[in-house]
Amino acid sequence: MTNSVKRLVEVCSKEDGFLGSYFEAKLVQRVSKDKFLVEFLTLVSEEDENEKLREVVDATEVRPCPPQITVAEFDVMEKVDAYDRDGWWVGRVTGKECGEDKYFVHFDSTGDEFVCPGHLLRVHQEWEDGSWVPSNARSHQEQH
């Protein structure tokens, strides 16, 4: 992946309790062949809450921000990303509230299920070989 300074990316967290979640960040600089200094857009430093959190992360934890895919609604069992606690978390739609734009989403990483407004969900996409693959396209490819 070609990475230029100031580019917006998503960084995958490997920390306990955050495993598999993605947080938006800006590339500050390449510090080695396989490491980047990033500045998170929504996370703040523990030492000074007025400063954005900066961390050196492995290049394998960095991906471009996925393109937005507009959908009228999400289907039951569809894999989605839900925005919560300043990041994107992978989950699966398990139901919808009648007459509302709210969905029940189950998160395998924690075993929790929450009600999420539709505007805080996006189609889950995987970054594979330099291209974005929507989860619904993956399931269709795997079925054929």
The tens digit of pLDDT for each residue in 39-93 reads 999 999 999 999 999 999 999 999 999 999 999 999 999 999 999 999 999 999 9
| Measured distance CA(99)–CA(41) in Å, rounded | 34
Give the pLDDT confidence of 54-64 residue by residue, as tens digits.
Answer: 999 999 999 99
Closest C-alpha among 25, 133, 38, 21 to residue 88: 21
Please state the φ and ψ torsions of residue 113, each to the nearest 5 degrees. Answer: -130, 130
Regarding predicted confidence, which is higher, 43 or 136? 43
